[in-house]
Structure 1
Amino acid sequence: MRILHLAPASLWSRAVETGGYRGSSRNQSLEEVGFVHASTARQLPDVLAGLYADTPLDDQVVLVIDVPTCDSAGSSVRWEVPADSAQLFPHIYGPVPVSAVVAVLPISRQADGRIVMPSLAGLRVLDDPPAP
């Protein structure tokens, strides 16, 4: 089972050096929020439209995260409904181990504002949250 996280490329580079990713969501850290926000493949476009509509994406990357690897490293993944949503989202309670990131994918925005999503083919990313 794999999930996604939009990360500033600079924070991902730091994570590679330190062994764990500690970002959470736009301009917030794991320490500030308490968990790392993540999404499924179908949720990511809505997250981008809602939280990153006014932001260039040139300095962002999409992390493909293996849930069992996070769980076994002590950074448990819980499916929760945020206060501003009606659907389950994955939250990672602890730093994302670099070993749990199976792919780092580019993402960009065209001049007309449309987002160019990376291909997730063959990466076994969940499309939807698991059934409760």
Structure 2
Amino acid sequence: MTDERPVSTETLAYKILTGAQMAQLLENGSFAGAPVDLADGFVHLSAAGQVQGTLDKHFAGQEDLHIACVDLAAVANALKWEVSRGGALFPHLYAPLPLSAVTAHGPVWRDTSGCVILPGLD
């Protein structure tokens, strides 16, 4: 029997957090998840090309948002790429997000055209 789970070559993913959630991650050293994560049973992450769409769809109009850059190798044992919005594969973390896997983080910033600037890519 072969393993037919999709495999991605992405090495980083991103978690969008409210200010309070970011503070919790920094204070506790891990983040169990937002209400939607807890309801779904996994922490929702986005690949780099998915962050803009996730922000626009699920966080429209919200302020005090942050983005944490996650090293996928550090959470590989609990990570699955699964079909989600529009049939695209999204990274889902079936464990709390450990601060040790976060390589960079910062507030949501957009360039002059409105595109999100991801932390850690400067």
- Please give the range of the TM-score, normalised by the shorter of the 2 chains: 0.7 to 0.9
1:65 aligned residue: 70
Map 1:47-126 to 2 at 5 A.
47-53=54-60, 55-56=61-62, 58-71=63-76, 76-82=78-84, 84-108=85-109, 115=114, 117-120=116-119, 122=121
Q: Deviations over 1:13-37 (max 9, x none)?
A: 112222211224xxx1543221011
Mark the CA change 1:20 to 1:46 in structure 2 (over 3 Å): closer, same or farther.
same
SS of 2:23's equivalent in the other structure is helix
1:126 aligned residue: none
**Structure 1-normalised TM-score?**
0.71
Runs of 4+ in 1 over 3 A off after TM superposition: 119-123
In structure 2, C-alpha distance between the alignment counterparts of 1:50 and 1:122, rounded to whole Å: 23
In structure 1, C-alpha distance between the alignment counterparts of 2:17 and 2:110, rounded to whole Å: 15
Structure 1 or 2: more helix by fraction: 2
Q: Deviations over 1:57-98 (max 9, x none)?
A: x31101100011123xx5x1100002x421100001110111
SS of 1:4's equivalent in the other structure is strand
Unaligned runs of 5+ in 2: 1-10
In structure 1, C-alpha distance between the alignment counterparts of 2:109 and 2:119, rounded to whole Å: 15
Map 1:21-32 to 2 at 5 A.
21-24=31-34, 28=35, 30-32=37-39
2:44 aligned residue: 37
Tell me by how many angstroms 1:109 deviates.
6.7
Instruction: Report if the CA contact (8 A) 1:109-1:116 is conserved.
Output: yes
**Structure 2-normalised TM-score?**
0.77
In structure 1, C-alpha distance between the alignment counterparts of 2:95 and 2:70, rounded to whole Å: 13
In structure 2, C-alpha distance between the alignment counterparts of 1:94 and 1:85, rounded to whole Å: 24
Tell me by how many angstroms 1:40 deviates.
1.1
Count of aligned residue pairs for this structure pair: 111
